Structure 1
Amino acid sequence: MTNSFNFGQADVLFTDVDDTLTTDGQLLPETYLALCRLAAAGIRVIPVTGGCAGWCDQIIRTWPVTAVIGEGGAFYAERTAPQTVRWHYWNDAASHKRDQETILTAVAALDLDFEPQLASDQAFRYVDVAVDYNQQQSLSSEQVAVLHNALVGRGFNVRQSSIHLNVWLGDFDKSTMAVRVGQEVLGLDLQALQQRAVFIGDAPNDESMFRCFPLSVGVANIRKHLPGMAHRPAAVVSQRSGLGFAEMAENWLRQRTESDLPQAETHPV
């Protein structure tokens, strides 16, 4: 164990959502309070999720966040007025929609010994396609691997979240859009963003963020994925999911206000 993780002068937080902010599918009051405390302390919070556009619309309108990145980096949304949201796509809405239709057709045509099911929120997605393996469906690890390989073999990008396989066409991912948000929303170049931003996540589809941001944290449930991950968080907190997020936030806020006190314990990867 170590308590050496140092948040330094960071004032930006990129955070995954599923199983990082949520706990067993729920946003706990402790977690939402931690989000509010971070925002009140002047930390700009930006969720980075594989979640659908519909979910992102709710987040940007109701949570204390600066922006939200959705569908694995396909777009970001920001409030331009209290009731006004502006959407920024990686490319443009029309080309993304054509790509989405191509993926949906390919998924429907897969010839496997099981039938892949789309995520229940697919109707609310603007860009990617989400195949459910661990939300309302329950696929074995072998079936997930077969499905993953079949989709990659057809030329698609595929990332595994804690509940879905997210499938898309295009040269974006979570980290590339995070860098764009740093430039367009925060006014920070890559070097400044890497010095001032923390990322917290839980799953293999967060690897690009762990690779991009040196100040990175995993919630405890990431441990089961670490053996297969090439890019890992710099530290892992002791608690899982939303309580792990709250643990990270408490540590960060304590360092900002009481830097002479010991830091909360984290566990090295």
Structure 2
Amino acid sequence: MMQPIAGLTQSQLARVRWILTDIDDTLTEHGKLTAAAYQAIWQLHAAGIGVIAVTGRPAGWCDAIARQWPVAAVVGENGALVFSEKKGRLERLYHPNAADPATAQQQLEDLWQAVLREVPRARIAKDQFSRMFDLAIDFAEEQPHLSREEVLRIHAVCEREGAVAKISSIHVNAWFGDYSKLGMSERFLREEFGVDIYVEADGVAYVGDSPNDSPMFAAVPLSVGVANVRDFSEELDPAPRWVTEAGGGAGFAEFAAEVLAAQAEIHS
């Protein structure tokens, strides 16, 4: 059962050195990055707490986020890549199990045609043009929203065609290759910073909002859902251990404020 973050102890919060976070409906509300969430990321950065965005969003978005947000890195396209900026230079790491981009694009086009044959109302997400390894099928980012039955049928077709498929709060994401958000996040933190996301003492938290965050909720000891995660309570397997009072970007800011207050307390 999810517990309010008010139940977190000062020692748990003070130990946090890294916050991994989803973007859509975790940092955003109604599709927009909130001022509160963005300010919280800057405050965490100033306090020496690394923020890593973990998202299904495309490589093109990740390039911009890694350059312009105060984040340590962006894991994108569901684990196919991680972009980070070091000393003014953008570094790109691609998962070795991801197909080369040309092969991936042909596989994704074939998959899209298979989906369209069975779900005529399906539509490709508007950000697909900047993706390298991932097919994003929009069901709730723009109107008209698709029915739950259509969403589940899209997911089933993708899996039948041999793709890995995940349902977020807005898209069905599908790709070919044995990689994941969790695997790439774990690899990046371990190789770059010697941090083990599975060990509580290493001070990692994860913040998310939907069923495709469940692998991260399961792996990271301090797992937090923003309040709108409750909308998926029957589909979460597992649910996060903790939940904020506010939803979306306000919920992320709420958790960040608790972490920053605990950090300030131990240094006062």
- Give runs of ≥4 in structure 1 deviating > 6 Å: none
Q: How does 1:14-29 map to 2 (within 5 A)?
A: 14-29=20-35
Equivalent positions of 1:229-244 (< 5 A) are 229-244=236-251
Q: Is the 8 A contact 1:7 1:215 kept in 2?
A: no
- Which blocks of at least 5 consecutive residues in structure 2 are unaligned? none
Question: Are 1:218 and 2:225 counterparts?
Answer: yes
Give the 5 Å matches for 1:67-82. Answer: 67-82=73-88
Give the drift of 1:259: 5.7
Offset at 1:148?
0.8
Partner of 1:89: 94
Partner of 2:124: 118
User: Structure 1's 149 and 34: CA in aligned 2 closer, same or farther, altered over 3 A?
Assistant: same
SS in 1 for 2:250: helix
The structure-2 alpha-carbon separation of the partners of 1:144 and 1:32, relative to structure 1 and needing over 3 Å to count, comes to same
Contact in 2 for aligned 1:134/1:162 (Cα 8 Å): yes
Are 1:68 and 1:78, in contact at CA under 8 Å, matched by a contact in 2?
Answer: yes
| Structure 2 partner of 1:265 | none
- Give me the whole-angstrom Cα distance separating, in 1, the residues matched to 2:118 and 2:201: 42
After superposing the two structures, state which structure 1 stretch, 29-38 or 92-101, moved more: 92-101
Corresponding position: 1:141 with 2:144: no
1:11 aligned to 14, 17, 31, which one? 17
Displacement after TM superposition at 1:86 (Å): 1.4
Q: What secondary structure is seen at the aligned counterpart in 1 of 2:108?
A: helix
Question: What's the RMSD between the two structures over aligned residues?
Answer: 1.9
Length-normalised TM-score, structure 2: 0.91
Report the CA distance shift for 1:258/1:163 in structure 2 as closer, same or farther (over 3 A).
Answer: same
Alignment of 1:1-269 (within 5 A): 2=4, 3-5=6-8, 6-82=12-88, 84-91=89-96, 95-110=100-115, 111-137=117-143, 138-192=145-199, 195-258=202-265
Equivalent-residue separation in structure 2 for 1:52 and 1:194 (angstroms) = 32
2:98, 2:179 within 8 Å by CA — same for their partners in 1?
Answer: no
Q: Equivalents in 1 of 2:149, 2:201: separation in Å?
A: 36
The CA deviation at 1:106 is: 2.0
How many pairs are equivalent?
A: 259
Where does the alignment leave 5 or more consecutive residues of structure 1 unmatched? Answer: 261-269
Q: Distance in 2 between matches of 1:201 and 1:107?
A: 27
TM-score, normalising length: structure 1? 0.90
Q: What is the CA-CA distance between 1:135 and the residue it aligns to? A: 1.1
Q: Which amino acid aligns with 1:185?
A: E
CA displacement, residues 184-207 of structure 1 (integer Å, 9 cap, x when unaligned): 222224555773110000011111
1:11 aligned partner, one-letter code: R
